[in-house]
Chain A
Amino acid sequence: METAPRICSAVACNLDADILAAVYPLLEEGRVEALEWAFDALYWAEQVPEWFEALLQAYAQAGRLIGHGVFFSLLSGRWTPEQQQWLQDLRQVASRYQFDHITEHFGFFTGQNFHHGAPLPIPYSAAALRIGQDRLLRIADACRCPVGLENLAFAYALDEVRRHGEFLDQLLQPVNGFIILDLHNLYCQLHNFEVPYEELIALYPLDRVREIHISGGSWEDSALTPARRIRRDTHDEAVPDEVFELLRLTLPRCPNLKYVVLEQLGPGLRTEASRLRFQADFGRMEALVQPQRAGLAAGPGNAFRPPLAPLTAPAAEDGQLHAQQRQLSDILETAGSYEEVQRRLHASALAGTDWRVESWAPHMLETAVNIARKWKQ
Protein backbone atom coordinates (compact mmCIF):
# COMPACT_ATOMS: atom_id res chain seq x y z
CA MET A 1 0.00 0.00 0.00
CA GLU A 2 1.29 3.48 -0.90
CA THR A 3 2.31 5.68 2.02
CA ALA A 4 -0.06 8.64 2.34
CA PRO A 5 1.48 12.05 1.66
CA ARG A 6 1.97 14.26 4.73
CA ILE A 7 -0.78 16.56 3.37
CA CYS A 8 -3.33 14.99 1.01
CA SER A 9 -5.01 16.80 -1.90
CA ALA A 10 -8.60 15.53 -1.68
CA VAL A 11 -12.06 16.02 -3.18
CA ALA A 12 -15.52 15.98 -1.63
CA CYS A 13 -17.19 13.14 -3.51
CA ASN A 14 -20.75 11.96 -3.01
CA LEU A 15 -23.08 9.62 -4.86
CA ASP A 16 -23.84 12.26 -7.45
CA ALA A 17 -23.44 11.68 -11.17
CA ASP A 18 -22.27 15.21 -11.92
CA ILE A 19 -19.65 15.29 -9.16
CA LEU A 20 -18.38 11.84 -10.10
CA ALA A 21 -18.16 12.75 -13.78
CA ALA A 22 -16.03 15.78 -12.87
CA VAL A 23 -13.83 13.79 -10.48
CA TYR A 24 -13.40 10.64 -12.60
CA PRO A 25 -10.46 11.86 -14.75
CA LEU A 26 -8.60 12.82 -11.55
CA LEU A 27 -9.28 9.37 -10.06
CA GLU A 28 -8.07 7.74 -13.27
CA GLU A 29 -4.82 9.73 -13.16
CA GLY A 30 -4.26 8.68 -9.52
CA ARG A 31 -4.21 12.30 -8.34
CA VAL A 32 -6.97 12.13 -5.69
CA GLU A 33 -5.00 11.35 -2.54
CA ALA A 34 -8.00 11.17 -0.18
CA LEU A 35 -11.79 11.22 -0.39
CA GLU A 36 -14.29 13.14 1.73
CA TRP A 37 -17.80 11.66 1.82
CA ALA A 38 -20.95 13.32 3.21
CA PHE A 39 -22.03 10.04 4.78
CA ASP A 40 -25.31 11.21 6.27
CA ALA A 41 -26.73 12.25 2.89
CA LEU A 42 -27.16 8.51 2.30
CA TYR A 43 -28.62 7.51 5.67
CA TRP A 44 -31.98 7.14 3.97
CA ALA A 45 -30.67 4.76 1.30
CA GLU A 46 -31.31 1.07 1.75
CA GLN A 47 -28.01 0.24 0.12
CA VAL A 48 -25.00 2.08 -1.27
CA PRO A 49 -24.45 0.86 -4.87
CA GLU A 50 -21.68 -1.76 -5.09
CA TRP A 51 -19.52 0.34 -7.39
CA PHE A 52 -19.63 3.35 -5.05
CA GLU A 53 -18.97 1.05 -2.10
CA ALA A 54 -15.84 -0.21 -3.91
CA LEU A 55 -14.59 3.36 -4.34
CA LEU A 56 -15.21 4.24 -0.68
CA GLN A 57 -13.56 1.05 0.54
CA ALA A 58 -10.47 1.61 -1.63
CA TYR A 59 -9.85 4.89 0.21
CA ALA A 60 -10.99 3.56 3.60
CA GLN A 61 -8.57 0.64 3.45
CA ALA A 62 -5.74 3.04 2.62
CA GLY A 63 -6.67 5.13 5.69
CA ARG A 64 -7.68 8.05 3.48
CA LEU A 65 -11.49 8.20 3.75
CA ILE A 66 -12.86 11.09 5.80
CA GLY A 67 -16.53 11.59 6.71
CA HIS A 68 -18.35 14.92 6.65
CA GLY A 69 -21.73 15.13 8.42
CA VAL A 70 -24.34 17.71 7.46
CA PHE A 71 -27.57 17.03 9.32
CA PHE A 72 -26.74 16.52 13.02
CA SER A 73 -27.66 20.08 14.14
CA LEU A 74 -24.93 20.10 16.80
CA LEU A 75 -26.10 23.12 18.77
CA SER A 76 -29.88 22.83 18.86
CA GLY A 77 -31.17 23.42 22.38
CA ARG A 78 -33.23 20.24 22.58
CA TRP A 79 -31.87 16.70 22.23
CA THR A 80 -34.11 14.95 19.71
CA PRO A 81 -34.85 11.34 18.73
CA GLU A 82 -33.51 12.22 15.27
CA GLN A 83 -30.12 13.13 16.73
CA GLN A 84 -30.08 9.87 18.68
CA GLN A 85 -30.87 8.01 15.45
CA TRP A 86 -28.16 9.97 13.60
CA LEU A 87 -25.61 8.73 16.14
CA GLN A 88 -26.83 5.14 15.81
CA ASP A 89 -26.51 5.39 12.03
CA LEU A 90 -23.03 6.89 12.41
CA ARG A 91 -21.99 4.01 14.68
CA GLN A 92 -23.15 1.59 11.99
CA VAL A 93 -21.51 3.39 9.05
CA ALA A 94 -18.25 3.83 11.00
CA SER A 95 -18.13 0.10 11.68
CA ARG A 96 -18.45 -0.52 7.93
CA TYR A 97 -15.95 2.09 6.72
CA GLN A 98 -12.70 2.89 8.48
CA PHE A 99 -12.82 6.69 8.61
CA ASP A 100 -9.65 8.62 9.37
CA HIS A 101 -11.86 11.26 10.97
CA ILE A 102 -15.45 12.56 11.13
CA THR A 103 -16.56 16.18 10.98
CA GLU A 104 -19.72 18.23 11.48
CA HIS A 105 -20.84 21.84 11.29
CA PHE A 106 -21.18 24.61 13.83
CA GLY A 107 -24.72 25.90 14.42
CA PHE A 108 -28.33 24.76 14.69
CA PHE A 109 -30.93 24.13 12.03
CA THR A 110 -33.86 26.48 11.64
CA GLY A 111 -37.21 24.94 10.77
CA GLN A 112 -39.49 22.84 12.89
CA ASN A 113 -38.40 19.55 11.39
CA PHE A 114 -35.02 17.96 11.71
CA HIS A 115 -33.12 17.81 8.37
CA HIS A 116 -34.90 20.87 7.06
CA GLY A 117 -34.01 24.52 7.35
CA ALA A 118 -30.68 26.30 7.44
CA PRO A 119 -27.87 26.14 9.99
CA LEU A 120 -27.43 29.42 11.84
CA PRO A 121 -25.08 30.50 14.61
CA ILE A 122 -25.96 30.68 18.28
CA PRO A 123 -24.62 32.85 21.10
CA TYR A 124 -21.26 31.85 22.53
CA SER A 125 -22.80 31.16 25.94
CA ALA A 126 -22.07 28.67 28.73
CA ALA A 127 -25.21 26.71 27.75
CA ALA A 128 -24.11 26.45 24.12
CA LEU A 129 -20.62 25.40 25.18
CA ARG A 130 -21.96 22.67 27.49
CA ILE A 131 -24.28 21.29 24.79
CA GLY A 132 -21.66 21.40 22.04
CA GLN A 133 -18.96 19.72 24.13
CA ASP A 134 -21.37 16.97 25.18
CA ARG A 135 -22.49 16.23 21.62
CA LEU A 136 -18.98 16.19 20.19
CA LEU A 137 -18.11 13.53 22.79
CA ARG A 138 -21.18 11.55 21.67
CA ILE A 139 -20.06 11.74 18.03
CA ALA A 140 -16.60 10.47 19.06
CA ASP A 141 -18.21 7.68 21.07
CA ALA A 142 -20.15 6.60 17.96
CA CYS A 143 -17.35 6.81 15.38
CA ARG A 144 -14.31 5.96 17.57
CA CYS A 145 -12.00 8.25 15.61
CA PRO A 146 -10.93 11.93 15.65
CA VAL A 147 -13.77 14.47 15.47
CA GLY A 148 -13.71 17.95 13.97
CA LEU A 149 -15.89 21.00 13.49
CA GLU A 150 -16.14 23.42 10.56
CA ASN A 151 -16.14 27.19 10.93
CA LEU A 152 -19.42 28.79 9.86
CA ALA A 153 -19.68 31.25 6.97
CA PHE A 154 -22.58 33.17 8.42
CA ALA A 155 -22.45 35.60 11.34
CA TYR A 156 -24.75 38.36 12.58
CA ALA A 157 -22.11 40.75 13.93
CA LEU A 158 -18.42 41.58 13.75
CA ASP A 159 -17.83 40.68 17.40
CA GLU A 160 -19.17 37.18 16.70
CA VAL A 161 -16.77 36.84 13.74
CA ARG A 162 -13.81 37.81 15.93
CA ARG A 163 -14.75 35.31 18.67
CA HIS A 164 -15.59 32.34 16.42
CA GLY A 165 -12.11 30.76 16.47
CA GLU A 166 -11.82 31.00 20.24
CA PHE A 167 -15.27 29.45 20.77
CA LEU A 168 -14.47 26.59 18.38
CA ASP A 169 -11.31 25.98 20.42
CA GLN A 170 -13.32 25.78 23.65
CA LEU A 171 -15.91 23.46 22.10
CA LEU A 172 -13.23 21.08 20.86
CA GLN A 173 -11.07 20.85 23.98
CA PRO A 174 -12.81 17.95 25.82
CA VAL A 175 -12.91 15.73 22.71
CA ASN A 176 -9.35 16.72 21.68
CA GLY A 177 -10.97 17.72 18.41
CA PHE A 178 -9.78 19.62 15.36
CA ILE A 179 -10.99 22.39 13.07
CA ILE A 180 -11.90 22.16 9.39
CA LEU A 181 -10.93 25.62 8.30
CA ASP A 182 -13.24 26.40 5.38
CA LEU A 183 -11.44 29.18 3.55
CA HIS A 184 -14.46 30.18 1.49
CA ASN A 185 -16.40 30.58 4.73
CA LEU A 186 -13.54 32.74 6.00
CA TYR A 187 -13.64 34.70 2.73
CA CYS A 188 -17.36 35.37 3.28
CA GLN A 189 -16.59 36.86 6.69
CA LEU A 190 -13.60 38.89 5.46
CA HIS A 191 -15.81 40.43 2.79
CA ASN A 192 -19.12 40.76 4.65
CA PHE A 193 -17.54 42.37 7.71
CA GLU A 194 -14.60 44.11 6.01
CA VAL A 195 -11.99 42.50 8.28
CA PRO A 196 -8.35 42.16 7.15
CA TYR A 197 -7.15 38.55 6.74
CA GLU A 198 -4.15 38.95 9.06
CA GLU A 199 -6.37 40.31 11.82
CA LEU A 200 -8.92 37.49 11.60
CA ILE A 201 -6.58 34.54 11.05
CA ALA A 202 -4.61 35.54 14.16
CA LEU A 203 -7.78 34.84 16.19
CA TYR A 204 -7.98 31.17 15.10
CA PRO A 205 -6.17 28.32 16.92
CA LEU A 206 -4.35 27.17 13.78
CA ASP A 207 -2.61 24.31 15.58
CA ARG A 208 -6.08 22.68 15.67
CA VAL A 209 -6.50 22.79 11.87
CA ARG A 210 -6.32 19.25 10.46
CA GLU A 211 -8.38 19.90 7.33
CA ILE A 212 -8.91 22.84 4.98
CA HIS A 213 -11.86 23.23 2.59
CA ILE A 214 -11.83 25.37 -0.52
CA SER A 215 -14.91 26.02 -2.66
CA GLY A 216 -16.75 28.66 -4.64
CA GLY A 217 -19.83 30.72 -3.87
CA SER A 218 -21.98 33.54 -5.15
CA TRP A 219 -22.85 37.20 -4.65
CA GLU A 220 -26.20 38.54 -3.51
CA ASP A 221 -27.26 42.17 -3.65
CA SER A 222 -28.61 43.69 -0.46
CA ALA A 223 -32.04 45.30 -0.79
CA LEU A 224 -31.45 47.22 2.44
CA THR A 225 -28.12 48.71 1.40
CA PRO A 226 -28.06 48.68 -2.43
CA ALA A 227 -24.34 49.48 -2.66
CA ARG A 228 -23.56 46.34 -0.71
CA ARG A 229 -23.04 42.79 -2.02
CA ILE A 230 -23.19 39.81 0.33
CA ARG A 231 -20.86 36.87 -0.26
CA ARG A 232 -22.65 33.53 0.22
CA ASP A 233 -21.13 30.09 0.46
CA THR A 234 -23.32 28.32 -2.09
CA HIS A 235 -20.66 25.86 -3.36
CA ASP A 236 -22.03 26.20 -6.89
CA GLU A 237 -19.19 28.02 -8.65
CA ALA A 238 -15.49 27.53 -9.27
CA VAL A 239 -12.99 28.56 -6.59
CA PRO A 240 -12.26 32.31 -6.84
CA ASP A 241 -8.68 33.61 -7.02
CA GLU A 242 -9.11 35.22 -3.60
CA VAL A 243 -9.67 31.81 -1.96
CA PHE A 244 -6.58 30.35 -3.63
CA GLU A 245 -4.64 33.30 -2.22
CA LEU A 246 -6.06 32.57 1.25
CA LEU A 247 -4.92 28.95 0.81
CA ARG A 248 -1.40 30.07 -0.10
CA LEU A 249 -1.24 32.31 2.96
CA THR A 250 -2.77 29.78 5.38
CA LEU A 251 -1.04 26.50 4.44
CA PRO A 252 2.29 27.28 6.17
CA ARG A 253 0.52 28.31 9.39
CA CYS A 254 -1.19 24.96 10.11
CA PRO A 255 1.39 22.53 11.58
CA ASN A 256 -1.10 19.66 12.02
CA LEU A 257 -2.74 19.91 8.59
CA LYS A 258 -3.47 16.55 6.95
CA TYR A 259 -6.13 17.18 4.25
CA VAL A 260 -6.96 19.95 1.78
CA VAL A 261 -10.36 19.30 0.16
CA LEU A 262 -11.92 20.81 -2.97
CA GLU A 263 -15.71 21.01 -2.70
CA GLN A 264 -18.28 21.74 -5.37
CA LEU A 265 -21.86 20.57 -5.63
CA GLY A 266 -23.33 18.54 -8.48
CA PRO A 267 -25.67 21.25 -9.83
CA GLY A 268 -22.61 23.40 -10.58
CA LEU A 269 -20.91 20.59 -12.52
CA ARG A 270 -23.42 19.78 -15.24
CA THR A 271 -21.49 21.16 -18.22
CA GLU A 272 -18.22 19.97 -19.70
CA ALA A 273 -16.76 23.46 -19.20
CA SER A 274 -17.58 23.44 -15.48
CA ARG A 275 -16.04 19.97 -15.08
CA LEU A 276 -12.84 21.07 -16.80
CA ARG A 277 -12.73 24.11 -14.52
CA PHE A 278 -13.14 21.84 -11.48
CA GLN A 279 -10.20 19.73 -12.67
CA ALA A 280 -8.14 22.88 -13.23
CA ASP A 281 -9.01 24.07 -9.70
CA PHE A 282 -7.81 20.72 -8.35
CA GLY A 283 -4.52 21.16 -10.21
CA ARG A 284 -4.09 24.64 -8.80
CA MET A 285 -4.78 23.31 -5.28
CA GLU A 286 -2.28 20.46 -5.80
CA ALA A 287 0.40 22.92 -6.88
CA LEU A 288 -0.02 24.89 -3.65
CA VAL A 289 -0.15 21.81 -1.39
CA GLN A 290 2.84 19.88 -2.75
CA PRO A 291 5.57 22.39 -1.77
CA GLN A 292 4.18 22.51 1.78
CA ARG A 293 5.03 18.84 2.35
CA ALA A 294 8.77 19.47 2.18
CA GLY A 295 10.42 19.74 5.56
CA LEU A 296 7.39 18.53 7.53
CA ALA A 297 7.66 15.66 10.01
CA ALA A 298 6.32 12.29 8.83
CA GLY A 299 2.99 12.72 10.63
CA PRO A 300 1.12 15.58 12.30
CA GLY A 301 2.25 16.27 15.88
CA ASN A 302 -1.33 15.99 17.12
CA ALA A 303 -3.34 12.96 15.94
CA PHE A 304 -6.46 14.38 17.68
CA ARG A 305 -7.38 11.03 19.23
CA PRO A 306 -10.54 11.44 21.36
CA PRO A 307 -10.56 10.27 25.00
CA LEU A 308 -13.40 7.72 24.50
CA ALA A 309 -14.51 7.68 28.14
CA PRO A 310 -17.90 5.97 28.75
CA LEU A 311 -20.84 8.40 28.51
CA THR A 312 -23.16 7.79 31.44
CA ALA A 313 -25.02 11.12 31.80
CA PRO A 314 -28.08 11.91 29.67
CA ALA A 315 -27.52 14.12 26.62
CA ALA A 316 -27.19 17.83 27.46
CA GLU A 317 -30.16 20.08 26.67
CA ASP A 318 -31.26 23.64 27.42
CA GLY A 319 -34.97 24.47 27.34
CA GLN A 320 -34.44 28.23 27.26
CA LEU A 321 -32.02 27.98 24.32
CA HIS A 322 -34.47 25.70 22.49
CA ALA A 323 -37.32 28.20 22.99
CA GLN A 324 -35.14 31.06 21.73
CA GLN A 325 -34.09 29.07 18.66
CA ARG A 326 -37.71 28.21 17.83
CA GLN A 327 -38.74 31.83 18.24
CA LEU A 328 -35.89 33.06 16.03
CA SER A 329 -36.68 30.49 13.33
CA ASP A 330 -40.34 31.51 13.36
CA ILE A 331 -39.50 35.21 13.03
CA LEU A 332 -37.01 34.66 10.19
CA GLU A 333 -39.38 32.39 8.28
CA THR A 334 -42.69 34.24 8.70
CA ALA A 335 -42.16 37.98 9.21
CA GLY A 336 -43.60 40.00 6.32
CA SER A 337 -40.86 42.64 6.11
CA TYR A 338 -37.43 43.52 7.43
CA GLU A 339 -39.04 46.09 9.74
CA GLU A 340 -41.32 43.38 11.15
CA VAL A 341 -38.31 41.10 11.72
CA GLN A 342 -36.62 43.88 13.69
CA ARG A 343 -39.74 44.69 15.70
CA ARG A 344 -40.46 41.07 16.61
CA LEU A 345 -36.82 40.33 17.46
CA HIS A 346 -36.63 43.25 19.88
CA ALA A 347 -39.86 42.11 21.55
CA SER A 348 -38.74 38.47 21.71
CA ALA A 349 -37.09 36.31 24.38
CA LEU A 350 -33.77 36.91 22.58
CA ALA A 351 -33.72 40.64 23.37
CA GLY A 352 -31.32 41.66 26.12
CA THR A 353 -29.64 38.22 26.22
CA ASP A 354 -26.41 36.59 25.01
CA TRP A 355 -27.87 36.64 21.49
CA ARG A 356 -27.04 40.38 21.37
CA VAL A 357 -29.73 40.98 18.73
CA GLU A 358 -29.33 44.70 19.34
CA SER A 359 -25.93 44.63 17.58
CA TRP A 360 -26.82 42.44 14.57
CA ALA A 361 -25.71 43.99 11.27
CA PRO A 362 -28.80 44.86 9.16
CA HIS A 363 -27.37 43.37 5.94
CA MET A 364 -26.64 40.08 7.71
CA LEU A 365 -30.06 39.89 9.37
CA GLU A 366 -31.51 40.40 5.88
CA THR A 367 -29.31 37.52 4.67
CA ALA A 368 -30.48 35.30 7.55
CA VAL A 369 -34.08 35.87 6.45
CA ASN A 370 -33.17 34.91 2.87
CA ILE A 371 -31.36 31.76 4.00
CA ALA A 372 -34.12 30.63 6.36
CA ARG A 373 -36.77 31.10 3.68
CA LYS A 374 -34.72 29.36 1.01
CA TRP A 375 -34.44 26.21 3.11
CA LYS A 376 -38.01 26.33 4.35
CA GLN A 377 -39.30 25.93 0.77
Chain B
Amino acid sequence: MKLPKAVLGAVLVGLAVQ
Protein backbone atom coordinates (compact mmCIF):
# COMPACT_ATOMS: atom_id res chain seq x y z
CA MET B 1 0.00 0.00 0.00
CA LYS B 2 1.46 3.33 -1.04
CA LEU B 3 1.62 5.67 1.94
CA PRO B 4 1.35 9.46 1.57
CA LYS B 5 4.77 11.13 1.59
CA ALA B 6 3.67 13.21 4.57
CA VAL B 7 3.06 10.05 6.61
CA LEU B 8 6.42 8.54 5.62
CA GLY B 9 8.17 11.80 6.45
CA ALA B 10 6.46 12.00 9.83
CA VAL B 11 7.47 8.43 10.66
CA LEU B 12 11.07 9.17 9.70
CA VAL B 13 11.15 12.24 11.95
CA GLY B 14 9.42 10.30 14.72
CA LEU B 15 11.94 7.48 14.47
CA ALA B 16 14.73 9.96 15.06
CA VAL B 17 13.34 10.79 18.50
CA GLN B 18 11.76 7.43 19.38
Contacts and interface: CB of A to CB of B under 8 A. Distances in A.
Interface stretch (A27-35, A196-204, A278-286): A27-35
Contacts of A64: 1
Nearest to B14: A51
Contacts of B1: 2, 4, 30, 32-34, 58-59, 62, 64
Contacts, number: 50
| Dominant secondary structure of chain B at its interface with chain A | helix
Interface in B1-18: 1-4, 6-8, 10-15, 18
A55 B11 contact: yes
Contact of A58 (B4, B12, B14, B18): B4
A64 B2 CA distance: 12
A49 B2 contact: no
B12 A54 contact: no
Contacts of A2: 1-2
Nearest to B4: A58
Interface in A19-54: 20-21, 24, 27-28, 30, 32-34, 49-52, 54
A64 B4 CA distance: 15
A52 B11 CA distance: 7
A59 B2 CA distance: 10
Q: Give the interface size bracket for A toward B.
A: 20 to 34
A54 B9 CA distance: 10
Contacts of B13: 51
B7 to A, nearest CB: 5
A55 B7 contact: yes
A323 interface: no
A365 interface: no
A27 B15 contact: no
Contacts of B14: 20, 49-52
A308 interface: no
Contacts of A49: 14, 18
A58 B10 CA distance: 12
Contact of A21 (B6, B8, B10, B15): B15
A252 B10 CA distance: 38
Given A27-B8, A50-B10, A58 B3 contact: yes
Interface of B: 1-4, 6-8, 10-15, 18
Interface of A: 2, 4, 15, 17, 20-21, 24, 27-28, 30, 32-34, 49-52, 54-55, 58-59, 62, 64
Given A28-B8, A62-B1, A64-B1, 6 more contacts: A2-B2, A24-B12, A28-B3, A30-B2, A54-B6, A55-B3
